[in-house]
Chain A
């Protein structure tokens, strides 16, 4: 180990210590005082991508990610009020994959709020999902906060119903990245109308948390880090004073602020997107991360994955439980009015991502 590395690893160790020390109680105090609603915590698990190889054989790595997240949520003390599952329980929407994933999810000691992902949808268009998990979109109230769950991964009727010879082929096409035959995600008019109606009964002062699988804004179309009617959905949310959108699909730490709406991504338990640019040895068009993820260790199959929990206290504080990495805390910066990492912003204390292998 060179002396350079020693300094680097020292900085990392120092970061770990501060972050760990800050976790249990500190964050509650810095959050701005609540106006409405009670304090509470909920956890999330997302993008498990349970993949059947054949018969009773499943991809071990993805199984382990989901099992680990379930176990660790159960270890939370005090327990969260509920767990959001952020979509993509299955890889190819197969019944076997759902059953295997549900077998692991049933060990959770708290209730689950389900959000559907495209990998769950495009084989049977949500039939099994609606039987087992419940409706594709719905809303609920929790301790003064109005939650809305959207199915944001729909797309146009022609692509869905007429283009593909079999459901399996449709599923495979939607699962592909950089697919010229793919189609962008949408919430679509019917669901937007439902959303308008649902929100009519909610006052503008009520804090609103929207849960979707795809980000309800536009990042990168070839990977469907994208919702095609995002602007129309945002317009419906605009009158509300306190709106947060939480989404899966992007498999990484990612947050954004558009107007009055904060956006925050869930981590995946399966694998991280994207790998560092140099890891793929090819240029790509991924957007530059606000704060690059410290991915130090490709040796570890869990590196770059994780789960998290969110404290609600008038504002939201996001705790990223990043496996085999330092935990991260992101919270709303009350002056700048956008989400910001509690640590790591200062380049002098930032742990640099590994840029060579």
Chain B
């Protein structure tokens, strides 16, 4: 009877996720699944429960879904993320939707997989605020439901559950959040020529040519992840460190060589945060470089940029139009575009056509196509 109940629960809980998992959404490639963490309906369900469990935080107030809220397209709508005790981090919480396609995780690409990514926020003093993963495992082992679920998914006893099992389940859930099928996808990949407005169709041309968007936010022949998986300095936030960038970079380099935790430094120190990719590679040319985010569902995941400093897509388009924020480490592909008002409007129409059906309800009414 217990088993039956769980099965029913599983079916209900993962219907949404399963539909995305079982078939490749229009406009997206198949979700990459690591060989050592195959998907299963039970694991996905377990992952979702873990993702939403607030007990995995210092004061019982923060789960993954605080900042990656299913009712906000798996973002939080805030400029920068808010953790325990309303502490604020330095960076915008990116949506988990389609994060499975990124080759690296976090804005600076400091983790190679969803699994490794999921371990860090638990231990960050301004996110979940724990000092080790042990309290999570304690909660799980003593929970009335978790041990049986872990048993079913990983065939292990409660005492053998580790953080690696926890993050594998969370990552499996996150891999179900692959959403395409936007008007853009139906137009470009689905053969529905009526799916886009004339403005949005012109926007595709601006995007691929004069707007130079295509070179980083890649649209492919058969699908579009809207990212080149590289890291670029576009100058946003750089003015915060401009006057003493060398001092900040060298202080961080020294701290890192002495074993300082990157995750804590990046999210707790605004100046270190603005060093971007440099914290990983220590290459000066990576200073202020951040990962190219996907543009899918961009209309419902404001505010924008790594620091959430831009409120609207109009502001973002203006930023690129002027060639980013000038700084000595500016990416050489970022140059003034001289877009006309019409071209900007067309680009905006295109960006507003990238919303998946799951999030259409989040579009402010005036923006609906």
Interfacial residues, chain A to chain B (CB-CB below 8 A):
1-3, 5-6, 9-10, 13, 16-17, 20, 23-24, 61, 64, 67-68, 71-72, 74-75, 77, 297, 299-303, 321, 323-324, 327
B135 within 8 Å of A (CB atoms): no
Listed by A's residue number, 6 A-B pairs whose Cβ atoms lie within 8 Å are: A71-B329, A77-B253, A299-B333, A302-B332, A323-B332, A324-B332
Partner of A3 from the list B30, B281, B285 (CB cut-off 8 Å) is B30
Interface pair A67/B328, CB less than 8 Å apart: yes
Interfacial residues, chain B to chain A (CB-CB below 8 A):
29-30, 32, 103-104, 112, 212, 215, 218, 220-225, 229, 246, 249-250, 253, 257, 280-285, 328-329, 331-333
Partner of B331 from the list A75, A77, A300, A321 (CB cut-off 8 Å) is A300
Interface pair A327/B332, CB less than 8 Å apart: no
Interface pair B29/A3, CB less than 8 Å apart: yes
Instruction: Give every chain B residue within 8 A of A24 (Cβ-Cβ).
Output: 257, 282
Pick from A61, A299, A321 the residue with the most CB of B within 10 Å: A299
Partner of B284 from the list A72, A301, A302 (CB cut-off 8 Å) is A72
Interface pair B283/A327, CB less than 8 Å apart: yes
Partner of B225 from the list A1, A13, A68 (CB cut-off 8 Å) is A1
Complex Cα–Cα for A324 and B232 (A): 9
Smallest CB-CB separation from A299: which chain B residue?
Answer: B215
Complex Cα–Cα for A302 and B218 (A): 20
Smallest CB-CB separation from B28: which chain A residue?
Answer: A1
Interface pair B328/A9, CB less than 8 Å apart: no
Smallest CB-CB separation from A10: which chain B residue?
Answer: B103
Task: For residue A343, give the distance in angstroms from its CB to the closest CB of chain B.
Answer: 15
Interface pair A64/B332, CB less than 8 Å apart: yes
Instruction: Give every chain A residue within 8 A of B285 (Cβ-Cβ).
Output: 68, 72, 321, 323-324
Interface pair B223/A9, CB less than 8 Å apart: no
Instruction: Give every chain A residue within 8 A of B246 (Cβ-Cβ).
Output: 74-75
Instruction: Give every chain A residue within 8 A of B112 (Cβ-Cβ).
Output: 13, 17
Instruction: Give every chain B residue within 8 A of A327 (Cβ-Cβ).
Output: 283
Interface pair A1/B103, CB less than 8 Å apart: no
Complex Cα–Cα for A37 and B10 (A): 70
Instruction: Give every chain B residue within 8 A of A5 (Cβ-Cβ).
Output: 220
Task: For residue A76, give the distance in angstroms from its CB to the closest CB of chain B.
Answer: 8
Interface pair B104/A13, CB less than 8 Å apart: yes
Smallest CB-CB separation from B216: which chain A residue?
Answer: A299
Complex Cα–Cα for A343 and B253 (A): 24
Complex Cα–Cα for A302 and B283 (A): 15
Known A1-B223, A68-B328; 12 more pairs at CB < 8 Å: A13-B112, A23-B282, A24-B282, A68-B285, A297-B215, A297-B333, A299-B212, A301-B333, A302-B332, A303-B332, A323-B285, A324-B332
